A and B are shown apart, each in its own frame.
Chain A
Amino acid sequence: MIVTAQDPHQLEMSLDAYMSEVDLACKKTRELLVGAGLEGRLFDVILVLREALNNAIRHGNRCTEGKRVSCRCRLEGNDLAIEIEDEGEGFDWMPCLDRQPEAVSECGRGMSIMRMYTTSMEFNGKGNRLTLRMRMG
């Protein structure tokens, strides 16, 4: 994981194709939030970030070596905006937005968790860039 830009209100990172990269990105994001005195929703932010990055690496880039995921976390007043972009082919995200996983299905919960913990969730048309917003105050 490489930090490509950082200031007290913003963090930009580039992640390689390994799930351990998610742990490093979450650690840096935690530092950003703690530094800004925003520990209140730390668990929620890190959970949402993990789900988005897991999906981008695993489903977007299919864990392909050399393909990267970019991640930008930006504090905007009371909001946190998280933008995640992968180098994959995208997907048909529209039917997935409101899909509920089966009660005891082992997978398919990431999207619904993101929806439940954020105030908004938007994909670009192709489906390889996701923007999440969370109210921090």
Chain B
Amino acid sequence: MSEIERRGEQVIVKPGQDLVASMTPEFRKELRVLLDEGCRDLVIDLVDTEMIDSVGLGALIAAYNSLSKKGGKLSVINASANIHGLFKTTRLDKHFNVTNA
């Protein structure tokens, strides 16, 4: 279960685990709840995440798409060099802000 911190309008979600196919259904549900509550500024903190696969990326993109429709934004912080590389390779860094660990 992700650690969730609220700083004013901003919600910081720290999954604390890899975002891969076996783990992603629960993570998707957590994001869905936050979006349904009206979150518009979502930050995903990947400090303890070593791996993201295409299923995990799909969960982030789903949140990004929902936020975009409402004028909100999604950022990724503390991405490892490898994960940052994956965001670049898939060009997802063009759509949400990704910063390194």
Residues of A that sit less than 8 Å from B by CB: 18-20, 22-23, 43-44, 46-47, 50-51, 54, 58, 103-107, 109-110, 112-113, 116-117
Q: Taking chain A's interface residues, is the majority helix, strand, or loop, or is none over half, making it mixed?
A: helix
Q: Which of the residues A44, A46, A107, A116 comes within 8 Å of B58, measured between beta carbons?
A: A107
From A43, A47, A106, A117, contact of B65 by CB (8 A): A106
**With A23-B22, A109-B90 in contact, do A103 and B54 touch (Cβ < 8 Å)?**
no
A106 close to B90 (CB less than 8 A) = no
In the complex the two chains form, is A46's CB within 8 Å of B62's CB?
Answer: no
Residue of A nearest to B94 (CB): A103
Known contacts A54-B53, A112-B90; A19 and B22 CB within 8 A of each other:
yes
Contacts of A106 in B (CB 8 A): 58-59, 61-62, 65
B16 to chain A, nearest CB (A): 16
Can you list 12 contacts pairing A with B, beta carbon distance less than 8 Å?
Answer: A58-B21, A103-B91, A103-B94, A103-B95, A104-B65, A104-B68, A106-B61, A109-B57, A109-B58, A113-B53, A116-B89, A117-B89
Tell which of B22, B57, B59, B82 has the most Cβ of chain A within 10 Å.
B22
- In the docked arrangement, what's the CA distance between A90 and B68, Å? 37
Is the CB–CB distance between A43 and B82 below 8 Å? yes
| B47, CB-defined interface residue at 8 Å | no
> A43-B82, A104-B64, A104-B95 in contact; A113/B22 too (CB < 8 A)?
no
**Do the beta carbons of B22 and A22 come within 8 Å of each other?**
yes
User: A55 — nearest CB in chain B belongs to which residue?
Assistant: B54
